[in-house]
Structure 1
């Protein structure tokens, strides 16, 4: 099965990072979610109750981000993935990408980030 629900570039504001100013000032993080789920039942029945609400996924990511601060974006990604798998039993796996465009490093770059894949 290759069905998936996805969210791209969800912008969240959080206070995550190793440096003290990151926890004090905060910054934007961009989150991508890709959830492996069988969408046939919802599509065939045209039944909202048989799928996962995009807004619920966004709200879960925001709530998890707000539960910090975390030193690592790896922790943020891991917590989001675990919360998704815990709450939505029809999701078989989830890929979470966390981008950090304002990382306090010398290099000129668009962003740094992590990507994790977790299976049920």
Structure 2
């Protein structure tokens, strides 16, 4: 059986970007995580140890977003690697990193990257 857990709208202030100014002043980001897993054991047990812990997902995202990267692709990959390596029961994951008001010389709400992996 495959089931999905989503942790959406993780709001952060971080310092990612290729420009020196981005590393100094930072900006607003939002991260959405989707985990495909199997709820079968938790259906029966009603125990947190038998499912994916949302707190751990949030912790991984916050820790990786706190490490400066030039590219949001890089930080998104680091998040996906940690989810794969540190969270038991992950069948698939989807990491979406949204950078709000990017400095790209136009009126743009945000840019985003999505990393999907099995």
TM category, shorter: over 0.9
**What is residue 115 of structure 2 aligned with on the other side?**
116
CA separation in 2, counterparts of 1:43 and 1:103? 43
Deviations 1:29-73 (Å, cap 9, x if unpaired)? 10000001001211222111101111111011101111x210000
Compute the displacement of 1:75 (Å): 0.4
CA RMSD of aligned residues (A): 1.1
TM-score relative to the length of structure 1: 0.93
TM-score relative to the length of structure 2: 0.94
SS in 2 for 1:36: strand
**What is residue 21 of structure 1 aligned with on the other side?**
21
**What is residue 43 of structure 1 aligned with on the other side?**
43
Gaps of 5+ in 1: none
- The number of residue pairs the alignment matches comes to 118
**What is residue 98 of structure 1 aligned with on the other side?**
97
CA separation in 2, counterparts of 1:8 and 1:38? 19
CA separation in 2, counterparts of 1:5 and 1:50? 13
Tell me, yes or no, if the aligned pair for 2:32 and 2:96 is still in contact at 8 Å. Answer: yes
Structure-to-structure mapping, 1:44-83, within 5 angstroms: 44-66=44-66, 68-83=67-82
CA separation in 2, counterparts of 1:92 and 1:2? 8
CA separation in 2, counterparts of 1:100 and 1:13? 10
Gaps of 5+ in 2: none
